[in-house]
Chain A
Amino acid sequence: MTLTPKTNLMHKTKLQTIYLSLLVAFICLLLPWSGVALKLRPDFVLLVIVFWILRAPNKCNIGTAWFIGLWVDLATGGVFGQYALAYTVTTFVAVIYQRRLVLFSNTQQLVYVLLLLIISQLTLLTVKIFSGNDALGWTYFLPSITGVILWQAAVALGLNTSRPSRSK
C-alpha cells in the first residue's frame, strides 16, 4: 500500500523537535531541586518520551528511551542502567498500547499515563531494592501524580498526542 505524503501524518514531527524537547526536559531534571520540590518533581524526561512514543513511534522508540535513560542515570549519579531499564520497560508498555489510544477518552489516557509513570517507578524501585536500598514510603510515588497533573496541563494547553487514524 502506498501513501501520499499528506496522509503520512506521523512524519510531520521533525526529529529536531523531539530531541529539542527531550533536551529541555533533561534540563528541567538538572534544575537544582531540593526539599519538598525534589519529592514532588515529576519525571519530565519520561513524560516527554511517552508523549513522543504515543505521537510519533516511528521517530521515538524504545531505543531512544533507553539512550535518554542512560543520561538520566548519569545525572542522578546512580548505577548505570537503572533509569535506562525503567524507561525501556515503560516505553515497551506504551508502544504496545499505543494504537489503542485512538479509542481512549481524555480521562482514560490520563489513567494510562499514570500507569506508565508508576510502572517506571516500580521498575526503578525493584532494581533499587535488589541493590540493597530500603523501600521509601508511599511518598515515593508522588512524582507520578505530579507527572499526570503536568500531562493534563500540557493537554489543556493544546499539546495532544495526535491520532493519525482520526484525521483520515
Chain B
Amino acid sequence: MAGYHQNLDQQQAPAFFARGPSPLARLAFFSALSLALMATDSRLQYLGTVREHLMVVLQPLQLIANAPSMLYDSTNEYFSTHHRLLDENQLLRKQALVQAISLQKMKTLELENTNLRQLLQANQSLEEFSQLGEILHVGRDPFTKKIIVNRGSAHQVVNGAAVVDAKGVIGQVTRTYPASSEVTLITDQSLTIPIQVERNGLRAIAFGHGRDNTLDLPFLPANVDIKPGDKLITSGIDGIYPKGLAVATVTEIQTSQDSPFARIVCAPTGGIENHKQVLLVSISPSESITPPNTAKQPIVNTDANHATLEKSKPSALKELDQHKKITNEAPAVAVDANTQNKPHAQD
C-alpha cells in the first residue's frame, strides 16, 4: 500500500508534495522522543525546573484565558445590588461574632493544652502558617483530581502544604510554580491522608477514590468501631496536616462474608468542588515543609513520638472508656506503620 502511494507521489505529486522524512520515520522518531520524555519525567526529577520555567511562559496566556471569566465576575460584582450587599454584610457580621466567641474559647483551650502538654512533657504541637489562595481553574487532566491555585513559590508556598477551605481539608500542594501551585484533592487516587475518628480517636489512613468524589478507609477489620455519620479529622501525626481539621464523614459501611476488611466510604467535608477561596496551611514556615518523597524520615519520628504519647496519655488524662478503645487502635497503628513508607502524594 505504501509502495503504491509512493508511485503516486512520483507521478502526479510534484515538488510541493515532497515532505521530507516519511511519516513512519517521523512517527518513530517523535514517539521515541515522547516515551523518553515520559520516562524521564516520571522516574527522574530532571524536568521539574524546566516545567517551572515553561510555566512562566505560559502565564500570560493563562491570564488571557482567565480574562473573560474574571471580567464576568467583576461586572457581576459591580452590578450586585445594594440590598444584597447589606444582607451579606449582616450575615458576615453575625458570623464574625460567633467566630470571635469560639476564637476566645479556643485561645483558652490552646493555653490549657500547652500547659497540659508541659505537664506531660510532651512535644509542643507545631505552629501553623497559612495564606489565602484563590482557585484559578480546575485541573485539565480528566484522570486526576487537581486544582490550580493562584499562590506559588513566589508567595512561599511549599510542596506538601495542606489546603483547607472553611469546612475542612480539601487537598495538598503537590507542585509549585512561580505564581501558581497545583493542589491534588483528597479525592484523587494518589493522595492519602492520615485521619482519626473524632468519636473514638481511632486512627487510619484515608485514600482518595478517584472516580467519584469519595474517600475510602481500606484495611480496617470488619468489626471496626466506625459507624455511618462518624466524623473523620486529621490526626496530625504526619507533620503535614495540622491536627483536628475536618476531612470527611463516613457515609457507608459494607461488610461481606468473604472479606476480612470492611468497605468504608466517606464523603469529604470540605467543599471540594464548589469554593473559590482556599487556605494554604503549612506547619511552621521556618523548617520548610519537605516534599512528600523526602519527608519520610521526620514523619516516621514524629509518628513514633506521637504513638507512644497517644498510649501514655489516656492514663494521665482521659477517662476509662479511652482504654477500651486501645484495642481498637491496634490495627490502625499497624496500618500507619505500613503506609509510612508511602509518600502522601505520589507523582
A and B associate in one complex: yes
A residues near B (Cβ < 8 Å) are 1-3, 8, 10-11, 23, 26-35, 38-39, 57-58, 61-63, 66, 69-71, 74-82, 84-85, 88-89, 92, 95-96, 99, 127-128, 131, 133-134, 136-137, 140, 165
Given contacts A35-B138, A99-B13, 17 further A-B contacts (CB under 8 A): A26-B61, A27-B65, A32-B65, A32-B69, A33-B138, A34-B137, A62-B26, A62-B27, A62-B30, A74-B54, A78-B143, A79-B42, A80-B37, A80-B38, A80-B51, A134-B143, A134-B210
CA distance A26 to B58 in the complex (A): 10
Output the least CB separation between A66 and chain B (Å).
4
Give B17 Cβ to nearest chain A Cβ, in Å.
Answer: 8
A6 to chain B, nearest CB (A): 12
| Chain A residues, Cβ within 8 Å of B69 | 31-32
Within 8 Å by CB of A92, from B13, B23, B47, B143, lies B23
B51→A58 contact, CB < 8 A = no
Q: Mark B162-190, 1 if CB is under 8 A from A, else 0.
A: 00000000000001000000100000010
Q: How many whole Å from A74's CB to the nearest CB in chain B?
A: 5
Q: Smallest distance from the beta carbon of A38 to chain B beta carbons, Å?
A: 6
Who on chain B is nearest to A78 by CB? B141
Chain B residues with a Cβ under 8 A of chain A: 5, 8, 12-17, 19-20, 23-24, 26-27, 30-31, 33-38, 40-42, 47, 51, 54-55, 58, 61-62, 64-66, 68-69, 136-144, 146, 148, 175, 182, 189, 210-211, 273
Which chain A positions have C-beta within 8 A of B68? 31
Residues of B within 8 A of A165 (CB): 12
Contact indicator A77/B137 (Cβ below 8 Å): no
